[in-house]
Amino acid sequence: MAAPTANAVTAGTGDPARTGGTRLSARLPRLVLYALLGAFCLYYLLPLYVMVVNSFKPLEEITSGGMMALPGSWTGAPWRTAWSEAQIGVQPTGLRPYFLNSLLMVVPAVTIATLLGALNGYVLTKWRFRGATVLFGLILFGCFIPFQIVLIPMARTLGFIGAAGTVRGLVFVHVVYGISFATLYFRNYYAAFPTELIRAAQIDGAGFFQIFFRILLPSSGPIAVVCVIWLFTNIWNDFLFGASFADYDSQPMTVALNNLVQSSTGVKEYNVHFAGAIMAALPTLLVYIVAGRFFVRGLMSGSVKG
Amino acid sequence: MDRSRSARDTMRDLLPRLVLSPTVALIAIFVYGFIAFTTYLSFTDSRMLPSYDLVGAGNYTRLFGLRTWDIALTNLAIFGTLYIAICCALGLGLAILLDQKIRAEGVIRTIYLYPMALSFIVTGVAWKWILDPGIGIEAVVQGWGWESFAFDWIKDRDMAIYTIVIAAVWQTSGFVMAMFLAGLRGIDGEMLKAAQIDGASTFALYRRIVIPQLRPASLSSFVVLAHMAIKSYDLVVALTNGGPGTATEVPATFMYSYTFTRNQMGIGAASAVVMLMTVAAIVVPYLYSELREKS
């Protein structure tokens, strides 16, 4: 993981001292440069603009070819419909219950996977045994498998343990496939932690868990944030597992949003779709804006990732 | 005294393994066990439910004889090639532009990268309506007075696959940019200065010194993009749902529909195995070299 990742970390932190290594600038006029960069900003922002603007418009304004225009008359109705009135399952509940499902799925899954990952990383780096690297490689491969390969047996297993079609079942699935990433993060982080400190503590008689809780865990803040953000984003955005294993009343947000948009009955309420899409995007987007630095770091060190 | 001490030593030796064992068990069962199970099923006559009667490689023969699978593979080839090529070109270009001591670099970088935080379903919904000829770009441009303007790729059997490239590139190119930017920041400035003093042109500087040093970043980007392309499912479902007709079917959507809606589990399992093999062919050598370097 090392080569690309180590450098990569600084990209997200925006260390001002190191910006601008190479110099194309002298020859390329600054104006052209900024115009290009600005044009690409517009390109990346355009879909977000479309979503936001159209979620506040009455439907007629969209269907009459005004997608790019600002709302003529602003309305909050699409948001209300998407949140609490739209027909998605059997009842016209809006997206609210599914948003809740996603939260109930994400929080325990992230917590458990992160804790397990921290313990694994600790063992794999500070209690090294023969074959630890091979084992780590085998765990890591779990980050890359196309999940299609596990869908059939997992569906059987969830049925067998009585968790088919439940949020609990989804939590379980996400923990299982989240461990690989969590282990990757903590293992690489703890690998750089001075082993002498551990040895010293051992000589002083500290046990396995004492060392972990007193010495390693208190200094694991940054990587824990990276790991939590990464898992949160991945699990919140998951669609395949939700679509495969959830029932009507346990569907996560992404699946419900897709059902809302794909449903072929009645008039297509584009403004409601856009409002719903923003709701599904908001949690991860907020995390990105608040803690973007850590998000990028996770992306990079997991960029041997998924 | 002696005995209790040795018991404690054994405990100390065992404890780390004990702590690791739940993970090892989970990974052994739910990754490798499941791979074995699905592989086994791909050699059986499973339909709606798993069956354990082996039928040899029949599912694979039938799979590769199916027109839909053929379409799915062709689409994956088109999508994968364009997606990786455009993401890399755009990512590298943007990274070089951003590496010119740009003011507000942080803000720009944040804007380029935010799509990566979104779900593919959200991206799919946004682009589905932007590309929709009835209300999206086509309707807007026509509304501006260019009556004959047409942009209906998403409804066009031959062009629909390219709309998936458009949306996927939008989502991931910022990430590739970040990878390359990190690579650029890692390049030794002294070497560049020396080359400049020797009178190397900017173009030569990039071609001879900068870009070759971005090999690790390129390699990681390639591996990530390639395996994302093979796994891509959500975006296709949200954007075109495999349509029009089967025009944008990809292996991931094929696997899902054959397994869960068409009750051809044996064939579905076989397609999943083919997907896994393709990913493994790219990822395993990469992981092997990375881990070996490190230890």
User: SS3 sequence, A66-89?
Assistant: CCCCCCCCCCCHHHHHHHHHCCCC
What SS3 state is found at B54?
Answer: strand
pLDDT at B293: 67
Q: How far is CA A262 from CA A84, A88, A249, B132, in A?
A: 18, 10, 18, 14
Contact by Cβ (8 Å): B227, B282: yes
Tell me the Ramachandran region of residue B241: left when phi exceeds 0, alpha when psi lies from -120 to 50, beta otherwise: left
Contact A27 B202 (CB under 8 A): yes
Handedness of CA B235, B241, B242, B244 (dihedral sign): negative
pLDDT band at B24 (very low <50, low <70, confident <90, very high): very high
State the Cα–Cα distance between residues B19 and B27, nearest whole angstrom: 14
Contact B111 A44 (CB under 8 A): yes
Shortest distance, CA B176 to any CA of chain A (angstroms): 10
Shortest distance, CA B60 to any CA of chain A (angstroms): 15
On the question of pLDDT at B295 being above 60, the answer is no
State the Cα–Cα distance between residues A217 and A193, nearest whole angstrom: 11
pLDDT at A97: 93
DSSP 8-state class, residue B43: T
pLDDT at B59: 92
pLDDT at A1: 28
Handedness of CA A185, A191, A192, A195 (dihedral sign): positive
Is A201 buried (19+), middle (13-18) or exposed (0-12) by CB count in 10 A? middle
The ipTM (two decimal places) reads 0.88
Q: What is the distance, to the nearest Å, from the Cα of residue A286 to the centroid of all Cα atoms in its chain?
A: 11
pLDDT band at B213 (very low <50, low <70, confident <90, very high): confident
Q: For residue B291, give the nearest of A54, A133, A179 by CB distance.
A: A133
State the Cα–Cα distance between residues A97 and A112, nearest whole angstrom: 23
On the question of pLDDT at B40 being above 90, the answer is yes
Mean pLDDT by 10 residues, chain A (306 residues): 31 39 59 92 95 93 87 91 86 91 96 95 87 87 91 93 92 95 90 87 88 90 89 94 92 94 83 94 92 77 46
Interface A–B counts its CB contacts (< 8 A) at 332
Count, residues in chain B: 295
pLDDT at A26: 55
pLDDT at A23: 54
| Orientation of helix A30-55 relative to helix B105-113, angle to 10° | 50
pLDDT at B2: 54
pTM over 0.90: no
Phi, psi of A156 (to 5 degrees): -65, -45
Q: How far is CA B260 from CA A155, A157, A260, B189, in A?
A: 11, 16, 21, 56
pLDDT at B16: 86
pLDDT at A43: 94
Phi, psi of B54 (to 5 degrees): -75, 140
The residues pairing with B54 across neighbouring beta strands, listed in sequence order, are B44
Is B53 buried (19+), middle (13-18) or exposed (0-12) by CB count in 10 A? exposed
Shortest distance, CA A34 to any CA of chain B (angstroms): 8
Give Cβ neighbours of residue B2 (< 8 Å, ≥ 6 apart).
Answer: none
Contact B108 A41 (CB under 8 A): yes
Shortest distance, CA B120 to any CA of chain A (angstroms): 7
B260 touches chain A (CB under 8 A): yes
Q: How far is CA B195 from CA A18, B99, B208, B209, B216, in A?
A: 19, 18, 10, 9, 22
pLDDT at A304: 44
Handedness of CA A158, A161, A167, A171 (dihedral sign): negative
State the Cα–Cα distance between residues B295 and B287, nearest whole angstrom: 12
Contact by Cβ (8 Å): A136, B23: no
* B174-207 per-position pLDDT tens digit: 999 998 998 888 887 788 888 888 888 888 888 8
Q: For residue A295, give the nearest of B22, B117, B187 by CB distance.
A: B117
What SS3 state is found at B192?
Answer: helix
Shortest distance, CA A119 to any CA of chain B (angstroms): 7
**Side chain identity, residue A265:** T
* B219-276 per-position pLDDT tens digit: 888 988 998 999 899 999 999 988 898 999 999 999 999 999 999 999 999 999 999 9
B175 touches chain A (CB under 8 A): yes
Domains of chain A: 2-75 (no CATH), 96-305 (1.10.3720.10)
Handedness of CA A131, B35, B171, A268 (dihedral sign): negative
pLDDT at A19: 41
On the question of pLDDT at B14 being above 80, the answer is yes
Q: For residue B119, give the nearest of A4, A146, A237 by CB distance.
A: A237
B179 interaction partners in chain A (CB closer than 8 Å): 4, 8, 11, 300, 303
Residue for token pair 């600084």 = A10
Contact A21 B189 (CB under 8 A): yes
CA nearest B125: which of A273, A266, A43? A273
Give Cβ neighbours of residue B130 (< 8 Å, ≥ 6 apart).
Answer: A46, A47, A50, A67, B136, B137
State the Cα–Cα distance between residues A56 and B108, nearest whole angstrom: 26
Phi, psi of A52 (to 5 degrees): -65, -50
| Residue A281 host element (H or E) | helix A270-301
Contact by Cβ (8 Å): A276, A95: yes
Contact A37 B108 (CB under 8 A): yes
CA-based max dimension of chain B: 94
Is B285 buried (19+), middle (13-18) or exposed (0-12) by CB count in 10 A? exposed
Residue for token pair 């115009």 = A35
**Side chain identity, residue A239:** F
Which of B118, B128, B190, B274 best tests the A interface by mutation, with the highest count of A CBs <10 A? B118
Which of A145, A174, A257, A274 best tests the B interface by mutation, with the highest count of B CBs <10 A? A145
DSSP 8-state class, residue B201: -
**Chain A, nearest residue to B47 by Cα:** A152
